[in-house]
Amino acid sequence: MSLEHPVVMIENRVLVNGEIRWTQWINRMIFDQQGHFVEYQSVGRDITELKQAEEVSRQNEERWQLAIQGNNDGIWDHDLVTNRRFISPRCTEILGYFYDEISAFDAWMNIVHPDDVENMRQAFQRHVDRETPFYSCEYRIKCKDGSYKWLLTRGKALWNEKGEAIRAVGSVTDISDRKRVEWELQQAKEAAEAANRAKSTFLSNMSHELRTPLNAILGFTELLSMDPATSDEQLEQLDIILRSGEHLLKLINDVLELSKIDAGRIVLHENQFDLHQLLNDLETMLSSQASSKRLQLYFVCAPNVPQYVRADEGKLRQILINLLGNAIKFTEKGSVSLRVQQANQQTKTDLPCTLYSLLLPDVAGSERILEREVEGFTLQNIPLLSNTLLPFVLSFEVQDTGLGIAPTEIGQLFEPFVQTSTGQQQHQGTGLGLAISKRLVQLMGGQITVSSVPNQGTVFKFEFRLA
């Protein structure tokens, strides 16, 4: 302190009751007219809380700077009133510019890809107008070297008491790598779809080319079989040719059907039909196949299933034939059953239902029973809920008592040309029936599931909406 500097401020710490406190003293020397020191004044105050606030502010600033420097994202702060803008060093690192080249808002917008400018402005305006909880936009921006990068900008605006947006703060993320991977995946997807279409077209053409001469071979084989001059040995050989040709023809037809489905050339032909009659027809069709293996064949239709429905009858018939045919094919003893009911309606033994049953012929021989009365009801006296066409979900369940399917094989069961170990051992099937059935069920808007217990049997179930 001196005549030239009579006032000085001093801050120091003091220990009060074991606690450190900060004090601030303003000291002043007073001189007379001759410049002699005559008086000393000092005023002190406790500034502990002020010092604590300054320390908190310093730590926050340090934390903010560390976050900006260590973060992989860029940070921006835009004053919407003055149009002044701050961007963190990471923003310049991403794009390769100097700070002064892109710090201004207009300079930043000038390097945004022309096709993305309007989308970016609209996204920001929607947030400013409070139509969205935050601002988010993906866009391309030009780097210093002339290349483009994809950025994801996210932010949040602040509004004053008048509801006017005055500030926006957010981040910038370089998503170029993610966009490149997405593009590569899209290209791979399109290439795979194109290859699949080409494969389906090839299989379709090949199937047509093979089926024409094969039909001729089968036709001439049948004609030779009917010739009285054909010997028993020749008939046996012709039968081998016929069975092998029919197996090959089924394989070709399945391949053609699958290729049409995969190529999207299968369309639904919905019409009103008699569902009960369809079940009758299927029972008649499959009864001889089941009786030849001494299997019981049950068709159970719940009373709440309408007689007339609207759907693609041909596709439904094909699905049921595939599932029931497989069940009979891979079941050596016991039974195969089909249960039809409205979804979420469980069939109980105490409910009236129609049971179509093919019973095993006993030693003395018994007649085939097409209808059997259960709890006093038959097909003729089941009370139908309604014959009007109303939307509802039907459930079809095919159950057998065969060898079952191993849990490890369930996941691949619906893949084309995949057979279970049982199918491979018996050399039966083409591995396409279930794949076709699944695709047809999905085409009709439903889902198919399977559950199986080895050595006990398998249950296939599918549901879809009918009218």
Q: What's the whole-number mean pLDDT along residues 253-273?
A: 80
End-to-end alpha carbon distance in the chain:
102
Instruction: Match 């080895």 to its residue by tokens.
Output: 454
Q: What is the pLDDT of residues 101-112, one digit of tens each?
A: 998 989 999 999
Which pLDDT belongs to residue 424?
54
The answer to whether residues 330 and 423 touch, using CB atoms and an 8 Å cutoff, is: yes
Q: What does the pLDDT look like over 19-50, one tens digit per residue? A: 889 899 898 888 888 888 888 888 889 988 88
Confidence of residue 438 (pLDDT cuts 50, 70, 90): very high
pLDDT at 59 over 80: no
Highest-scoring range by mean pLDDT, 47-61, 136-150, 230-244: 136-150
Q: Does 373 have pLDDT greater than 60?
A: no
Which residues make Cβ contacts (< 8 Å) with residue 273, sequence separation at least 6? 308, 309, 310, 311, 313
Name the β-bridge partners of 194. Answer: none
Q: What per-residue confidence (pLDDT) applies to 344? A: 64
User: pLDDT digits over 60-100, tens only?
Assistant: 777 766 665 666 788 899 999 998 888 888 889 899 999 99
- Report the mean per-residue pLDDT for the chain: 82
Record the pTM. Answer: 0.51
For the stretch 322-344, pLDDT in tens is 999 999 998 999 999 999 999 86
Among the ranges given (279-283, 318-322, 359-363), the one the predictor scored with the smallest mean pLDDT: 359-363
Question: 129-138, 218-227, 307-316, 338-347: lowest mean pLDDT where?
Answer: 338-347
pLDDT at 157: 95
Predicted confidence at residue 382, as pLDDT, reads 36
Of 130, 121, 125, 126, residue with least CA distance to 163: 130
**By the 8 A CB rule, do 401 and 335 touch?**
yes
Question: Predicted confidence band at 177 (pLDDT cuts at 50, 70, 90)?
Answer: very high
